[in-house]
Amino acid sequence: MRSLPAWLSAALVLALTLGTLLAVALRAEVGRGLSSGDWAAIRFTVGQAIVSALVSVALAVPVARALARRRFRWRGALVMLLGAPFILPVIVAVLGLLAVFGRGGLLNAGLAGLGVAPVSIYGAGGVVLAHVFFNLPLAVRLILQGWLSIPAERFQLAAQLNAPIWRLLERPMLARVVPGAVLVIFLICLTSFAVALTLGGGPKATTVELAIWQAVRFDFDLGRAALLSCIQFGLCAVAAVIAWRVTPVDGFGSGLDRVVARWDQSAWDWAWLLAVTLFLATPLAMVVWRGVPGLADLGPGVWAAAGRSVAVAAGSTVLCLLLGLSLALRGGIVMSIVGVLPLAASALVMGTGLFLMLFPLANPATLALPVTLCVNAVMALPFVLRVLGPAVTDIRASYGRLAETLGLRGLSLLRIVILPRLRRPLGFAAGLTAALSLGDLGVIALFATDAQETLPLAMYRLMGAYRMDAAAGAALLLLALALGVFWICDRGGRMDVDA
């Protein structure tokens, strides 16, 4: 009984990931195998994803630590800002980064003032920089959740005993949280396409996703697309198994949900917080700066698209939380794998597969928004599970026996014991899903007609029609909406933290 919602969720995820892949493969003609170029793409893809993930997480640990042990006035705003880059459409974020690190950007203007030769953002360094910009915030938030999951009582006990916090509390927590964070970011970077290509400098920066793109869009070689997608799945599976093996399952026992009062602060905390704020906020400020004049140029079509995007985001958030909660409550290795699958799926293959599956039944154009809603929910699921999974495990470990003794089961267990303690991760997960869904430009492009245009699509169409000022305005609107929904959803969690 307890498992039924979980199996339904798993079935939906499997249908959208492996099911769509199968639909593509069934239409395929015999593939040609892999060329040497494909192998080069695989090597580059994996290499840059490893470096990007390690750098993002390595930088995120001290930042999360500083956030976990400092209380200050703008902390809430900073934590929210940390959610912003992750949900920006790639081209908007890249233009923001270029305004800082590009040829005519602030950094090079400063260097020129000092008489230093300009630096170039293009190449492997630029790819990693952009990936860190996108993923550092996510890593910080995931690791911060880990820090906040350590009960305050533990810190108090450690303080009384004058015990080393790092060795006893923080290092074990990191050992539990970091592999998952590395894995998630590795997988995000693995399927990266536009960042790698735009900032990579050229054909050296070829990714598997580009090869899939080319196979579907230009060659209509579905067999090759399916083969390359299988390779992405394979890489993902290997990474998932490694992460699962190195993640020890242990908890810290229960606390009384008190807020931690930390005494082990250092001045380095401020340095880290200042650095990360500058790194993330400056490009975003440039997006705002450029977008404000364009706001006046936005026609009614763009506002309607914005409304549509918000509706889709709300729907996919509800669906994703239902999926995530049912899977997290069920737990187990199968559910972990199901939860990671969407990260390895190619949005292009998913869209193509869905098109093939739905076309005999209905006109795909009329289903554009429901399909986008479902796909967005499933795509956000890995992040939501990464947040909810450990939290549910902790609650079960801490309150499971007590609840059993009291005879709490099913919905009453969920309502009385689990949901109140999940408020913070649920809020964060909802904010993340809604914001991700707002910025998504994947499947919609394959299905949509003008009547189903979403805000990111409207922004790309404005750019395609040379209306760069209006597009900058649309980008600002997107940023504001994404931050807005993130703020609303995440608010409960942040208030807890600030208290």
d(CA 310, CA 465): 24
Query: Which tokens hold the place of 128?
Result: 């990693």
Q: Is 449 helix (H, G, I), strand (E, B) or coil?
A: coil
d(CA 191, CA 210): 9
CA 307 to chain centre: 23
Binding segment (CB under 8 A) for other proteins, from list 73-81, 181-189, 211-219, 408-416:
211-219
Q: Considering beta carbons, is residue 11 or 365 the nearer one to other proteins?
A: 365
Binding segment (CB under 8 A) for other proteins, from list 98-106, 173-181, 407-415, 491-499:
98-106
Q: Considering beta carbons, is residue 61 or 211 the nearer one to other proteins?
A: 211
The sign one gets for the Cα dihedral 455, 457, 459, 462 is negative
Burial of 168 (0-12, 13-18, 19+ CB in 10 A): middle
**Of 134, 186, 193, 399, which one interacts with other proteins (CB under 8 A)?**
193
Position 234 contacts other proteins (CB under 8 A):
no
Say which residue the tokens 């059993």 belong to: 404
Residues from 7 through 26 that contact other proteins (CB under 8 A): none
Convert residues 112-151 into a mask of x (bound to other proteins by CB under 8 A) and - (unbound).
--------x-x-----------------------------
Residues from 67 through 96 that contact other proteins (CB under 8 A): 91, 94-95
Q: Considering beta carbons, is residue 193 or 383 the nearer one to other proteins?
A: 193
324 contacts 388 by C-beta, under 8 angstroms: yes
Angle at 456 (CA atoms; ends 453, 460), nearest 5 degrees: 90
Amino acid in position 84: A
Binding segment (CB under 8 A) for other proteins, from list 215-223, 257-265, 319-327, 484-492:
215-223
Amino acid in position 182: V
| Number of residues binding to other proteins, judged by CB under 8 A | 53
Position 265 contacts other proteins (CB under 8 A):
no
Shortest reach from residue 301's CB to other proteins, in Å: 5
Tally Cβ neighbours within 10 Å of residue 203: 12
Position 210 contacts other proteins (CB under 8 A):
yes
Position 429 contacts other proteins (CB under 8 A):
no
Q: Considering beta carbons, is residue 145 or 207 the nearer one to other proteins?
A: 207
The sign one gets for the Cα dihedral 356, 361, 367, 371 is negative
Residues from 29 through 58 that contact other proteins (CB under 8 A): 37, 40
Position 164 contacts other proteins (CB under 8 A):
no
338 contacts 389 by C-beta, under 8 angstroms: no
Distance set, CA 155 to CA 54, 166, 332 (Å)? 28, 11, 30
**Of 147, 355, 399, 428, which one interacts with other proteins (CB under 8 A)?**
355
285 contacts 97 by C-beta, under 8 angstroms: no
Binding segment (CB under 8 A) for other proteins, from list 202-210, 264-272, 422-430, 481-489:
202-210
Distance set, CA 371 to CA 59, 215, 367, 385, 471 (Å)? 37, 23, 6, 21, 25
Position 363 contacts other proteins (CB under 8 A):
yes
List residues binding other proteins (CB under 8 A): 37, 40, 91, 94-95, 98-99, 102-104, 120, 122, 193-194, 197-204, 206, 210, 213-214, 216-218, 220, 299, 301, 352, 355-356, 359, 363, 365, 445-446, 448-450, 457, 460-468
